[in-house]
Amino acid sequence: MNPNKLENAPETTTTSIKFSDLHLLEPLQKAVEESGYSKPTPIQEAAIPPLIEGRDLLGCAQTGTGKTAAFVLPILHRLATYNRRADQRQTRCLILTPTRELAIQIYESFKTYGKYLKLRHAVIYGGVGQGLQVKALAGGVDVLVATPGRLLDLIDQKYLSLRTLDVFVLEESDRMLDMGFIHDIRKVIAMLPARRHNLFFSATMPPDIRRLADTMLTNPVTVEVTPVSSTAELIQQSVMYVDRNRKKDLLRHVLQDKAFNRVIVFTRTKRGANQVSEVLAKNGINSEAIHGNKSQGARQRALQNFREGRTRVLVATDIAARGIDIDEISHVINFEVPNIAESYVHRIGRTARAGAKGIAISFCDAEERSFIKDIEKLIGKPIPVDREHPCHSNAVENSRLMSPGKAKAAIERGHGHGGGPRRGGGRNQRRRPSGGGPSSGSGGRRNASSPRP
């Protein structure tokens, strides 16, 4: 949390009312104050009052809007107001998230804002032993943050039951569906008591997401903040046209500028992330890669090093595009342009968080030009071209625009991007974010990626 953030934040990112106007319990107000926030963000102002009343909520918002506190605070308020002890192996509130990183972050928010309340929180996700998680659940918890795979595993093993739950939150629902979690979500919903308080969040609202929301929510309040297609105004964006095999030179070149002091470089593949990180290491640039093949411990360490400024460059696949909440990221570099336009918005949203300024640069080769066109269509404006740098290629900029289908096929055939062909790379595999999938076991879950809008 950055106590200076409010001073830096423009008027538009917070509202005229104060947290004290929201009638949150005193211990919550105290914790918020200590976090350095005096004014709620628009989503907090809109969502907290109806959530305190117990209304269902449909929230259309991405991270960076203050969304987490918008649900964590009123949930804690209600759990503490209507306090009852959770039975053994039961939880009163479940927050389901697509990735471990997001689960941990939300759990940390519950701990931060709930530090003056006597509520019990736990987080469960795969990729680590289950022993400590089972222990945490044994006596019952008030709040449980979970990824779907591990949640269902522990329920199957009878370490947890959702029978007496009061509040259910589905986070990043569009991402959940995109990662193939729809069957898991349905299974979880079928286990919940009929009478409950429901919160549903999604950055986008295509028809399949809306249908899922309709099955879950009763007479919800709808809160919509910064739709995904309106790229944060504070982000200065540019595209650099470059030959595929000169991207690494270009990256080295731009990173010579010391103003690039906290940078996320996005690649589409895990292998690409490793390769970029290796090239940077060879050139004396301190970086770490984070993606689904890394152990949970390695990912957390890399994030911590980056957060604390020990690592200057974090190389990440799209899994990191959502959920990572790190302040003052100076630059986002799309080493590879995402083939899903919305991923672009999520990636660049890692900079310019909560009112700060940021810069996003996309390295675009000939095959990726159509992806840039898709992105410009989504964000409703052209991305300025930077022709100043030495690696700029007129030939790439003026090359014949491939159809998106052809471009995707060319990349799938292994024409570069992350270096060489990928094993087993099919269309669905490319559309899925790397890693961060089901938190445990069942490999089949990853194959059910539903198409994005």
CB 91 within 8 A of CB 143: yes
The span from the CA of 64 to the CA of 105, in Å, is 13
Q: Is 398 exposed, middle or buried (0-12, 13-18, 19+ CB in 10 A)?
A: exposed
The answer to whether residue 68 forms part of the interface with ligand AMP (CB under 6 A) is yes
Contact between 64 and ligand AMP (CB under 6 A)? yes
CB 239 within 8 A of CB 383: yes
The reply to whether 204 sits near ligand AMP by the rule CB under 6 A is no
- Least Å distance, CB 71 to ligand AMP, is 9
Cα–Cα separations (whole angstroms), residue 144 to 130, 269, 384: 15, 31, 44
Of 46, 52, 69, 203, which one interacts with ligand AMP (CB under 6 A)? 69
Q: Taking CB under 6 A as the rule, does residue 67 contact ligand AMP?
A: yes
Task: For residue 29, give Cα distances in angstroms to 24, 67, 250.
Answer: 6, 17, 48
Interface with ligand AMP by CB under 6 A: which range of 67-75, 166-174, 275-283, 420-428?
Answer: 67-75
Q: Binders of ligand AMP among 295-354, rule CB under 6 A?
A: 325, 353-354
Q: Which of residues 30-49 bind ligand AMP (CB under 6 A)?
A: 37, 39-41, 44
As measured in angstroms, the least distance from the Cβ of 31 to ligand AMP is 12
Q: Which stretch binds ligand AMP (CB under 6 A): 61-69, 207-215, 295-303, 439-447?
A: 61-69
Could you say whether residue 66 binds ligand AMP (CB under 6 A)?
Answer: yes
How many chain residues bind ligand AMP (CB under 6 A)?
A: 20
Residue 175 interacts with ligand AMP (CB under 6 A): yes or no: no
Contact 300, 436 (CB under 8 A): no
d(CA 14, CA 381): 25
What is the per-residue burial (b if ≥16 Cβ within 10 Å, else e) of 191-225? ebeeebbbbbbbbbbeebbeebbeebbeebbebeb
By the rule CB under 6 A, 119 interacts with ligand AMP: no
Residue number with the smallest Cβ distance to ligand AMP: 68
Residue 74 binding ligand AMP, by CB under 6 A = no
Q: How far is the CB of 77 from ligand AMP (least distance, A)?
A: 15
Smallest distance from ligand AMP to CB 65, Å: 5
- Residue 41, Cβ density class (10 Å: 0-12 exposed, 13-18 middle, ≥19 buried): buried
Give CA separation, 324 vs 94, 100, 318, 438, in Å. Answer: 20, 10, 11, 18
Residue 439 interacting with ligand AMP (CB under 6 A)? no
Alpha-carbon distances, residue 420 vs 192, 241, 388, 410, 416 (angstroms): 46, 20, 29, 12, 5
Q: Does 226 bind ligand AMP (CB under 6 A)?
A: no
Residue 14 lies near ligand AMP (rule: CB under 6 A): yes
Determine if 6 is a binding residue for ligand AMP (CB under 6 A). yes
| Closer residue to ligand AMP in complex, CB, 68/277 | 68
Contacts with ligand AMP, residue ranges (CB under 6 A): 1, 5-6, 9, 14, 37, 39-41, 44, 63-69, 325, 353-354
